[in-house]
Amino acid sequence: MTTLLRALIVKYDDDWELYKQYIPERKPYTTTTQEDISKHYVNIQVQPQTEQPQQTQQQTTVQQILESLKVVQPSFSITPQPAQSEEIVYLKAVDNERQAYTSVIKGTLPEPTDAPTRFGKFELKLETDGKPFVTASKPLTFDELRKISVKGEGYAEFPIIYEPKWFVQQLIEKADVVKYYTSSVVAVQININKDTVIVIRYETRKNVVSLYFKGSSDEVRKFFDNNFRDEDYVWSFDDFQKEVRKLLQWRQISRDAPVVVVNSDDADKIAWKINCASITLRVGSKYPQLLGCKTWGEVLEVVGVEQ
């Protein structure tokens, strides 16, 4: 009771001293009834309190209380499996503080499994020294290669939309080292900087690239974006014809290159998104003749431009 009074009712030292003086001196309550109730009143003797030396009294501050409290956090334990010594993988990305793990999931949104270490064709593993890294059981696609941001080694395979002769010329021009050169296969090495190297093997008859990189996937994406990308321009039909003619002056796209056509929100607008592996057209409802196109050759026929 004394503790409660001291903490909640009588809060100040001066008032507490007055309260202690009042207790033994207080008088019985007066009443208007005839009965004398003083016999029911009992004075409680207050025991004198021994004052503690000033140096032993400690006050707990709010900061001390907060520091003593521990907030429980949710536990997400991930236990990667050790990698096999001779295992073949198509990606080995260093996973510092879950950077690669996060980038692959955010960029590609792979199919989840019942284990946090396996997601689509990707898996989180451990090296012999205990360091984690992200692997892939199948080659990366061009879209995956562009959307992830990792450091390490990777291998990708994807089709090329350009005419083989023109694309070979571009590879030779940009090569630091020509590693292989025949009528059916060309291989080059491109040194982006001291940390990132790209090796490209191009099969002209299949029009397919096999790409190996060591270093940063961001540098690989920049290389292809700077040299083989056109994106998100919006035109009317007449302006689209002019832009197609301009494009063909520096990009020789194969007539057989597949085209993905999607509906545009603007009925009278046309736009494109082109990279070295795919062509996407956003077409307004005003141009139904373009909505049915499946190849670049069909687009050229509708636009009335000869390649």
The 8-class DSSP code of residue 50 comes to P
Q: What is the predicted pLDDT for the residue at 56?
A: 47
Give the pLDDT confidence score for residue 130 in this predicted structure: 83
CB-based burial label for 23 (10 Å; 0-12, 13-18, 19+): exposed
What integer pLDDT is reported at residue 35 of this predicted model? Answer: 63
Residue 142 sits at φ, ψ, to 5 deg, of: -65, -40
User: Cα-flanking dihedrals φ and ψ of residue 248, to 5°?
Assistant: -70, -10
Nearest 5 degrees, angle CA 56-CA 59-CA 65?
A: 135
Say if residues 102 and 58 touch (Cβ distance below 8 Å): no
Q: Tell me what pLDDT residue 121 has.
A: 96
Q: How many residues appear in the chain? A: 307
Please indicate, yes or no, whether the overall pTM of this predicted structure exceeds 0.75.
no
- Pure H helices in the chain: 2-4, 13-25, 62-68, 99-108, 142-147, 164-174, 217-228, 237-250, 288-291, 296-303
Q: Give the pairing type, strands 270-275 and 177-181.
A: unpaired
Say how far apart CA 90 and CA 156 lie, in whole Å. Answer: 7
DSSP conformational letter for 49: P
DSSP 81: E
Own/partner pairs for 187-195, CB < 8 Å, 24+ apart? 190/223, 192/219, 192/220, 192/222, 192/223, 193/219, 195/219
Helix (H, G, I), strand (E, B) or coil at 208: strand
Look at residues 45, 41, 40 and name the one whose alpha carbon lies nearest to residue 20. Answer: 45
Question: pLDDT digit of tens for each residue in the chain (307 aa)?
Answer: 777 777 777 777 778 788 887 778 777 766 565 666 666 666 666 666 666 555 544 566 777 777 777 777 676 777 787 877 678 899 999 998 899 999 999 999 999 999 999 999 999 998 878 889 999 999 999 999 999 999 999 999 999 999 999 999 999 999 999 999 999 999 999 999 999 999 999 999 999 999 999 999 999 999 999 999 887 788 999 999 999 999 888 889 999 999 999 999 899 999 999 999 999 999 999 999 999 899 999 999 999 987 6
First to last CA, the chain: 98
Q: How far apart are CA 93 and CA 101, in angstroms?
A: 9
Q: How far, in Å, CA of 224 to CA of 71, rounded?
A: 47
DSSP tag of 114: S
Q: Is the dihedral of CA 298, 304, 305, 306 positive or negative?
A: positive
Query: What local confidence, expressed as pLDDT, does residue 20 receive?
Result: 80
What is the structure's pLDDT at 29? 64
